[in-house]
Amino acid sequence: MSIDDTTASAITTTTTDDDSTANQEKIATTPSSKPRITWSDSYTKAQTAIESLSAILPYIPPSLAASETPAFSLLHDAEIAAQISRLLRQNDSGSGDNNLCRWLYDTFQSSEPDLHLVVLKFLPIIAGVYLSRVALHKPLAGFEAVLLALYAHETTTRNGQPITVSVPDLSHSSIYHETKQTAKNTSVELNIAVISPSLEPHGTVRSTRRARIIGVALELYYSKISQMPINSKIDFCEFCQIWAGEDGDVYKDGSNSSGGSEEENSPTVKRGKEGRICLPWDLLQPILRILGHCLMGNHKDKELYEAACGACRSLYARSVHDINPNAILATGSLLNLVKMNSKVEDDFDHTEIVHTNTITL
């Protein structure tokens, strides 16, 4: 029994890790004040954020201003989200003097984990609009400031260290091995895969590091993805389709069918290739991780699932266009999983007891 208890405490300590680092940051920023965050502190910060937002948005729902958990309401309020995303998508958004970008930046810099989530929620739109506009020579300093703030946050939390995965090798015994003997060949080196290289600090967005900066911001988004509202994820999936710039509908309903007749029923595809961007691995890898969550994660949202399927098909088409083996494998496997999901209709419940007509004691 003691085994299980320690596991539980291990889990809880890891989940509170984020908070404690946030605390440390807070201590670092305000050395003179007491290093304690009170409930009212985060409450005031969120209230301040809402107040300054009211100067930017035309309308703030009264329920939000009166909310007892302002940060939570800010994260989940549909009206606010709609207004902000409309503003972000406007043609002149993202310049250096844009109020909304400034608000996003300030809100993120408040070092309040709940407010971080609010900013992260809009990352799909920020990254999406920003990446699609880079080639158009427009002023985008506002977006860049927000993205750099996210990047800097991740750099400090990670201490610039890379994220690695040591790929298991079954010749090593492991905790899940049935025979619990120690292997003799402990000297065998494990394959170490770098899934996110070490981070250098960046003060500006240099064009050659752009993909990396946004990729790291997306990694941050992914680490909080279970707390993100569904709409944010749907936005993300829609931008994936735009970025891919390929029509994935040919891969709908199994790759063998030559469905040419069902072209007219999808309005999302007719966007053309306007927003197509370069998808280096730095960017594509976090995109695929997020997409994996949207497709196979533990949710039952039909709309998100459909959006993720669409994104996945487009990205598969794109990977084939680029003849990028890694991307073909990753997106192809997701597509196959979607196909398998749709085939399994009789969801047999293995945890159901056997129904017999003879019930014995």
Partner 1 sequence: MSEGESEDLGQLENDPSVRQVCANGICMKTTVVEAKLDEGNIQEAESALREGLSLNFEEARALLGRLEYQRGNVEGALRVFDGIDLQAAIQRMQPLAEKQPSKRGRSRSDSIHAVSQHAAGLVLEAVYLKAKSLQKLGRVTEAAQECKSVLDAVEKIFYQGIADVLVDNKLQETVSHAVELLPELWKQAGNFNEAMYSYRRALLSQWNLENDCCARIQKAFAVFLLYCGVEAGPPSLAVQIDGSYVPRNNLEEAILLLMILMRKFYLGKIKWDPSVIEHLTFALSLCSQTSVLAKQLEEVMPGVMHRIQRWKALALCYSGTGLRITALNLLRKSLHRHEDPDDIMALLLAAKLCSEDMFLAAEGAKYAERAIANCHDQSEHLKGVSLRMLGLCLGKQAKVSSSDFERSRLQSEALKTLDSALVFEKENPDLIFELGVHYAEHRNLNAAVRYAKQYIDATGGSVVKGWRLLALVLSAQRRYAEAAVVTDAALDETSRWDQGPLLRMKAKLKISQSLHTEAIETYRYLLALVQAQKKSYGPLRVEAEVEDDKVNEHEVWHGLANLYSSLSHWSDAEVCLEKARAMKEYSAGTYHAEGIMLQRRGEYREALSSFSNALLMEPNYVPCKILMGELLCKMGPSMSPTARTLLSDALRIEPTNRMAWFHLGMVHKNDGRIIDAADCFQAASMLEESDPIESFSSVL
* Site size toward partner 1, by CB under 8 A: 104
The residue from 186, 265, 345, 346 that contacts partner 1 (CB under 8 A) is: 186
Run of H or E residues at 196? strand 191-196
Q: How far apart are CA 206 and CA 217, in angstroms?
A: 15
- Find the binder of partner 1 among 57, 64, 141, 328 (CB under 8 A): 328
Tokens for 32, please give them.
Answer: 């003179």
> To the nearest whole angstrom, how small is the minimum distance from the Cβ of residue 4 to partner 1?
6
Establish if 334 lies at the interface with partner 1 (CB under 8 A): yes
Q: Contact at 8 Å (CB) between 237 and 128?
A: no
> Closer CB to partner 1, residue 6 or residue 265?
6
What is the phi/psi pair of residue 2, to 5°?
-65, -30
CB of 166 to partner 1, least distance (A): 7
**One-letter amino acid of 334:** L
Nearer residue to partner 1 within complex by CB, 65 or 135: 135
> Which of residues 40 and 358 has its CB atom nearest to partner 1 in the complex?
358
Amino acid letter, 246? E
Report the residue from 89, 193, 303, 342 that binds partner 1 according to the rule CB under 8 A: 193
Q: Strand, coil or helix: what is 191?
A: strand
Give residues 31-70 in contact with partner 1 (rule: CB under 8 A): none
Q: How far is the CB of 133 from partner 1 (least distance, A)?
A: 9
Residues 233-292 that bind partner 1 (CB under 8 A): 245-247, 250-251, 255, 258-260, 273, 276, 278, 280-281, 285, 288-289, 292
Longest dimension (CA), the chain: 78
List C-alpha distances in Å: 239 to 57, 61, 167, 268, 361: 24, 28, 31, 11, 58
CA distances (Å), 328 to each of 269, 323, 336, in order?
21, 7, 12
Report the nearest approach of partner 1 to the CB of residue 251 (Å).
Answer: 8
- Does residue 202 belong to the site contacting partner 1 (CB under 8 A)? yes
User: Considering only 47-55, 74-82, 96-104, 315-323, which stretch makes contact with partner 1 by CB under 8 A?
Assistant: 315-323
